Structure formats: C-alpha cells, structure tokens
Structure 1
Amino acid sequence: MSQYQRYSRQMLFSQIGEEGQKKFGDTSILIVGMGALGTAIANHMVRAGFGKIRIVDRDYVEKSNLQRQMLFDEKDVEAALPKAVAAKNKLEKMNSEIKIEAITTDVDASNIIELVEGIDMVMDGTDNFSTRFLLNDAAFKTGVPYVYGGAVSSRGMTALFIPGETPCLRCFIQSDGSTTGETCDTIGVISPIVDIIASYQVTEAMKYFVGAHDKLNRCLLTVDIWNNHTYSMKYSSPKVDCPACQKQEYPALQHGATSDVASLCGRETIQIKIEKTFDLKEWSNKLENIAKVKKTPFLLKAELEEGERIVMFPDGRVLVQGTSDSGRAKALYSRYIGM
C-alpha cells in the first residue's frame, strides 16, 4: 500500500504503470561522481523508486559545491563529509525503502569492474573524460548500458550507449582523455543546465527499464540553454576501428592505464595514490606538531606551512591542494608522507 501512496503519480503515467514501477524496484544503478550531475541523478532515481543505488565519489564537500550540488548543505561543509556519505545521508531521508550504498574512493582500472558487478546500468556523474572512457569501457566489457552526461557553462551533453545495440562513447569522441579543456572550475557552470542534463539521463534510464526502447533518444544530444541551441547527432554505425565496442580491447581497463598522480579538473588539486591504506589517527599524531590538523572519521586535513593543504583518506589517497604542479605536489608528498 505504501508503494501506491509514494509512487502513485508516477504509476498514473501510463508508460510506467504498476509493472514499470516494479521493474524500477528490481533495478540496481551505479552512479559514479556525486557532484552536480551525480546528486541530481541520485535525487531523481531515489525518489522514483529504483531499488538499489550504489554511489561512488572520491572527494569531500566544499562550499563552492553548494551552488549546484543539490544534496549538500553548509553542515556537510563544516563536517568535511565525503560526498558519497553526505549524499547517502540525504537520500535515505527521502526514501527509506531504497538500498543505498556509499563508497568513498577513486574509480580507476583496478576497481571499476568490481563496482559494476551486480549493476544494471552505469550513470555518469563525472567531470573528466579519462573517467568517462573508463566507465564506457567497463560497461561495454560487462554488457551494461552506460548513460553519459556532462555539463559546463550553460552547455550540456548526454547519450545512452547500449552494448550490442549502439556505438559507444569512443566512437564519438576521439581523445585519450588527457585534455584539460573547459571545466566548471575554469569557465563556470549554471545550475539549470545540470538539472536538465541529469533529467535527460534519468528519463532515458526509465524508458530503458520499462522496455520503451522505441522511445529511446538514440543520439548524442547537446543543449545550450543560454544561447537557445539544441543539437542532436544521430547514431550511425560504430567506428570499425573503435578499440572498445568493436575491437574489444578496452584501453582504459588495461594494466597501467591509471596513473598514480592525477590533476583534478582545474581545481589546483593533485591526487596521489601510492599507499594502500592510511591510519588517520596515526597520521594525525605524526603531523599535528608540524601542521594544523583536522581529523574526521572519513579524512584528515593538514594545513602546511608552505601554504598548501594535504587531505588524506583511509583508502590511501592524498589530495595536495593549492597547486596544479604535479612535481610540486609530489615534493610535498615526499616531504610529509614519504615516497
């Protein structure tokens, strides 16, 4: 009875109905990235009654996130909560019937297949093409649909890629994923375009799971809401030399495809992943005499006398904030942690 009360308006939509609602409840979704797109996607999917949502993000909540990342508030910033944890806290209050799994980690070639295990669809809430190619390759290797999305400035793009039925992301974007390009941290982003792209992503997922495949928008859709432009690039045949959907080489999944040092999307932040784990209590004791330290159950921040900041996570990751120079970041890492 509670299901009818909660989802009654959605089930009145004849294209979904009671049977469609049951299908949503039996579906497991992976959302990678709990930033602007990811939080909007999760909000829609949890409210819509998708049965299991696995959310993954490597970062923690900062004040600059609040303008567009709808699941976070000022208390999350004060507590320096990991985004996955903060998002789960909000989502569980929206719908206690949904199973929500929150994982704070960096998604890379070493863990993506495990993260996709038991999942029916991969939703893209990321902000860089190296991770998107990773999601694309993992989805096509495992036969799971992948919903691409991106938003920057007033523009957004989205597409649903289905293994065995459509081309993949690599067929449209010829790049190794290393380009810095335009990001929300360099040219900004307005919140409405995020909501629009996330809504398209979730709607395509709804169509797919209720079996309305004739209604799927089989194109790469581009929207610019400030300049009133919309463009659809219809799917054609996959590129014959595509290393993912045709050659099945999946380059993003290959050994060594993921670097131990990565720049985070124009944020003057370098991520370094060398150690397997960190004991935050132990490191707090080590650093408190030489830096201003704040430790939470999820991370440790150390303000360095040089002006930069080190953020350590239990899974062995370190963010060196305040520099975009990987050499400088590695030097600080070596000085305070050791390499």
Structure 2
Amino acid sequence: MQESDVNVEQTDDKKLQVPEEEVERYSRQIRFAPIGTKGQAKLLQSHVLIIGAGALGTAIAETLARGGVGRLTIADRDYVEWSNLQRQQLFSEADAKERLPKAIAAKQRLSAINSKVEVDARVMDVTAEELELLVKEVDLIMDATDNFETRLVINDISQKWQIPWIYGGCVGSYGMTFTVLPGDTPCLNCLLRSVPFGGDTCDTAGIIPMAVHTVVAHQTTEAFKLLTGQQAALRGTLLSFDLWRNEQTSIKVENAKQEDCPSCGPNAVFPYLSAENRTRSEVLCGRDTVQIRPPFRREIDLSQAAQKLEALCEGKVERNPFLLAYSIGGHRMVLFKDGRALVHGTKNIAEAKTLYTRYFG
C-alpha cells in the first residue's frame, strides 16, 4: 500500500467519527455491530428527503431523527386534523385545534426530540418542479405519500438523479414496501405492469396504526442499511403483509425490470416529469369548482366506488351509469368513469386534489 493510500484512509477515518458529546446518545445503536461507530458517523452526515408528513412520514421522521440522521427535509401540503391523531404520531390535539401545517408541526416535535438534527420543513404540494429543487444533496428519498401520481414523479426523479428511494404504502391492515435502487432494481413504473397495487385509501377502507408501524419498520431498516453503506444487506424483494389475516409475502421481482421502461430503461425519458403526464387541475371559469384529470386514463367501477363511499356514512352518494356524485361538508365531488372529477365548493386546487386523493385514491 502506498503512503498516499494510507493518508487517504486516515483522512476517511477522521471523517467517520461520532462527536464525543453524541456517543452516549447513540451508544446502543453504536453497539449494534453492523452499524458501529463508522455507521453512526455516516448517519450523522446523511440527508434524507421525506415526501409526506402523515402516518408514514411522521413515523419515518421520528425514527430517523432519534437514530441520528443529520438532516431531514420534510415536504407536505396538508394540515393537522382530528382524524390524524389516531395514527400520526408526531401531532398533538393542540396542532389539530390550530390546524397547523403538518410539516411545521413535525419540525417542532422533532426539534424537541433531537435538537442536533437539522429539519427543513416545506409546506408545499410536491410536484416535479419542486422535487427537482428538493433532491439537491439528498442521499435518500422516503415515500410517505398517499397517491401514485406523486410516487411516479418520485420514481422518475430517482432515476434521473440516481438517488435511491423506498416505497411504502398501507391501508386497512395491509402494507407494502420496496426499495428502488436506480440501475439495479426494477423501478415503480416497471412494477406497475406486473404487480397489483390497490386503489383503496385510509379514508375509504380505514387503517390500523400497527400496519403503519410495520411498513415504517421495514422502510427505515432499509434506510439505515443504505445510509451506513451496507447495500448487500438490503432485502431485495417486494414485501407485502396483512396483519389481520396473519399473512406476509416476500416477492422476488428482479424479472419485473423492463428493458423498454421509459423511466429506468437505457432510453429513459422520465415520462412523469413531463407536463402532459401530470394530473391536470383547473378552476372552472365562473364556477366555484376545480376540475381534476388524472395523469393517465383509468376505468372506474362506479358501483364499487359508490359502495365504499356509502360505507363511510359521511355524505350522500348518487350514481347513474355515467358518473358518481358524493356530497360531504361544503363540497360536492363528481367522479366520471375515466377518473376525471369535478370538485365543487372550492377554487383551491390543492384542497381539491387532497379531497380527490382522499376519497377516490
């Protein structure tokens, strides 16, 4: 070994040190051999972007903050409501009373948990433009969203900038997670061709917090492996489970990788970063109404959708062969068979998109 090599190694070792005042805080984690001092030092130097500050996002953020991930950026467009308190662990009744933006409430709580972690709270509707700015100097993206449009944008950003991301979703007692490594694993766009992803939401099918925590346990464990440089320890499979039915499946999906995938193939064009493949929302002229068009056409089973909404007992559901209308509070939503919707009672596009995602998936 040359002298220059020795100097480089010694320099690297100096960089991978845990500050003396932090050793006791992370002592139990450092004693875990696969992490150790060097792994903990890497965590302290890492930057993770969390998209969404709901059930998954708050649990992910708390786990990473307590574990010593040095910098967290949290982006979310919503505010805290009473129904969030059942499972979104960083929030309090005071946050719900004040309708505090979730990203802000999360930052306040995380700063009280670990003041050494830098938390950047972004109150925003995350689109491709925002993500292009958010991913600068990011080591890992954590999915804590509630819709596949945003996940497909995350997926394309991940592939474009070669940043790994960890998908996670849950509803009812069911959950699913997968770690996407650009250039290595199939991407989400590949998986959509062969893996059935459900269209239920927490608002239509409910959710138990244990499903959230199980997904988060898998997501954050994978995150720690990646951030400490132990890629060989990654699970490598698509994991799904149903806690109520005592079922768990780990699926090998390497064969799902598509050579012609427009998101991760050799001729990738990153389709979900282009304007024509995003949800198109517009305020209708002269009306207190927002029209929403999903990024791709999908055939809606109006009968099934009506049954789910009626089971909620929250609003009135009307249906004919061509559309479904659902009234709740001061809003009336009309869903067409092709997935297009009119949200009456608002001119706020972000609010309309939130309602659309909440009730129609």
Q: Same fold (TM over 0.5)?
A: yes
Give the whole-Å Cα distance in 1 for the aligned partners of 2:328 and 2:246. 43
The counterpart of 2:279, out of the listed 252, 259, 263, is 259
Partner of 2:250: 232
**Counterpart among 193, 201, 204 of residue 183 in structure 1:** 201
SS, match of residue 212 in structure 2: helix
Name the structure with the higher helix share.
Answer: 2
The 1-side partners of 2:171 and 2:107 are apart by 25
Give the superposition deviation at 1:171.
Answer: 1.2
Change (3 A) 1:332 1:91: closer
- Tell me by how many angstroms 1:110 deviates: 2.1
Indicate whether 1:323 and 2:332 are aligned: yes
| Structure 2: distance between partners of 1:219 and 1:235 | 6
For residue 151 of structure 2, what is the aligned residue in structure 1? Answer: 132
Q: Deviations over 1:134-164 (max 9, x none)?
A: 1111111100001000010101000111111
TM-score normalised according to structure 1 size? 0.78
Kindly provide the amino acid, as one letter, of the partner of residue 259 in structure 1. Answer: T
* SS of 1:53 mapped into structure 2: strand
**Tell me, what secondary structure is at the counterpart of 2:128?**
coil
Letter in 2 for 1:204: E
Deviation, 1:117, is: 1.2
- 1:186 maps to a residue whose letter is T
Distance change >3 Å, CA 69–CA 332, structure 1 → 2: closer
Secondary structure of the 2:127 match is coil
**Counterpart check, 1:208 vs 2:226:** yes
Which deviations, in whole Å up to 9, do the C-alpha atoms of 1:4-43 show, x marking residues without a partner?
1110000010110100000001110000000000011001
In 2, Cα distance between equivalents of 1:180 and 1:167: 19
Look at both structures and tell me which one has the larger radius of gyration over its CA atoms: 2
Aligned-residue offset at 1:223: 1.2
Q: 1:241, CA displacement in angstroms?
A: 1.9
Judged with a 3 Å threshold, the aligned counterparts in structure 2 of structure 1 residues 204 and 105 are, in CA distance, closer, same or farther, namely same
Q: How many residues align?
A: 280
- CA–CA separation in structure 2 for the residues paired with 1:211 and 1:14: 13
**Aligned partners of 1:198 and 1:190: how far apart in 2?**
13
Show the counterpart of 2:347.
333
Residues 332, 130 of structure 1: alpha-carbon distance in 2 compared, 3 angstrom cutoff: closer
Which residue is 2:270 aligned to?
250
Does structure 2 retain, via aligned residues, the 8 Å contact 1:122–1:144? yes
1:163 maps to which of 182, 185, 206: 182
Matching of residues 15-26 of structure 1 within 5 Å = 15-26=34-45
Matches within 5 A, 1:114-125: 114-125=133-144
CA contact (8 A) 2:290 2:343 kept: no
Same amino acid, percent of matched pairs: 42
